[in-house]
Amino acid sequence: GENVEQHPSTLSVQEGDSAVIKCTYSDSASNYFPWYKQELGKRPQLIIDIRSNVGEKKDQRIAVTLNKTAKHFSLHITETQPEDSAVYFCAAPTSSGTYKYIFGTGTRLKVLA
């Protein structure tokens, strides 16, 4: 079945610096890759997603890149701010059945003021 690995598990950056989180998936037929931000006690909130027909997508300070050959995708946050501190999860749908999401193990991002 689909497996999603995520690194690093924790990441501390100075305010204003960039943060990069990487995920690797196993199902080569996966074609949609969302990223979620989760604050303590809250639901995962979709922040950006990418479909397999593009290699990069950007939304203000957030970007996602996809390398289908290598089966990995990355979240890039530039000019980090303290409010970016949260746990970030990547996910990939299975390519069969009900396309349920398989989540990565999460990255706890801490932006230091």
Partner 1 sequence: EPEVTQTPSHQVTQMGQEVILRCVPISNHLYFYWYRQILGQKVEFLVSFYNNEISEKSEIFDDQFSVERPDGSNFTLKIRSTKLEDSAMYFCASRPQLSSGNTIYFGEGSWLTVV
Report the Cα–Cα distance between both ends of the chain, in Å, rounded.
Answer: 41
Per CB under 8 A, the segment of 15-23, 54-62, 70-78, 85-93 that binds partner 1 is: 85-93
Q: How far is the CB of 58 from partner 1 (least distance, A)?
A: 18
φ, ψ dihedrals at 50, nearest 5°: -145, 140
Nearer to partner 1, 31 or 65 (CB): 31
Q: What is the token pair recorded at 79?
A: 């000019």
- For partner 1, the closer of residues 76 and 108 by Cβ is 108
What's CA 102's distance to the chain center, in Å?
12
The Cα 73–Cα 53 span in angstroms is: 13
Distance of closest approach, residue 102 Cβ to partner 1, in angstroms? 7
Count of residues in the chain: 113
Contact set with partner 1 (CB under 8 A): 30-32, 34, 41-44, 46, 49, 51, 89, 91, 93-95, 97-106
